[in-house]
């Protein structure tokens, strides 16, 4: 049988690890901050594009907000543990890949917000 106080202590131990990791501020972990900025920019541009095209849907808004928030929380909480397990390059690669994916979404929103016929022109 699992001891209730031991389970509680382990849960609060996880919170302590994350809190201690970010004790000096997020400026020591700029890649996490950069991902948060890119995700926030993607949310803002996505909502702006939907509003401009009169395609704003509360269902899409909630789904997008939940998925974007989950990404931020998973990275913000998982990053300290990945570094603790010496998986820094792996988590950094994951964050860079997610920033690239969000970047493509940002570019799509920017191209779409420019007008109905706003797509990249051919160089030829």
Average pLDDT for runs of 10 along the chain of length 124: 52 75 76 92 86 79 88 88 87 94 90 60 54
**Burial of residue 97, with CB atoms counted within 10 A of its CB: 0-12 exposed, 13-18 middle, 19 or more buried:** exposed
Between CA 88 and CA 92 the distance in angstroms is 6
Q: What is the pLDDT of residue 99?
A: 94
Q: What is the pLDDT of residue 39?
A: 93
Rg of the chain, C-alpha, whole Å: 19
Q: Is the pTM of this model over 0.75?
A: no
- For the CA atoms of 54, 107, 70, 77, the dihedral, rounded to the nearest 10 degrees, stands at -150
Q: What is the pLDDT of residue 8?
A: 54
Q: What is the pLDDT of residue 98?
A: 94
């Amino acid at each position: 049988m699992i001891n209730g106080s031991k389970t509680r202590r382990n849960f609060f131990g996880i919170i302590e690890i994350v809190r201690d990791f970010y004790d000096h501020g997020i400026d020591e972990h700029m890649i996490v901050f950069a991902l948060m900025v890119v995700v926030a920019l993607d949310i803002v541009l996505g909502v702006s594009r939907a509003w401009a095209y009169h395609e704003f849907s509360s269902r899409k808004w909630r789904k997008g907000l939940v998925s974007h928030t989950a990404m931020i929380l998973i990275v913000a909480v998982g990053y300290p543990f990945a570094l603790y397990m010496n998986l820094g390059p792996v988590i950094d690669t994951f964050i860079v890949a997610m920033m690239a994916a969000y970047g493509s979404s940002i570019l799509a929103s920017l191209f779409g917000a420019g007008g109905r016929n706003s797509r990249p022109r051919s160089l030829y």
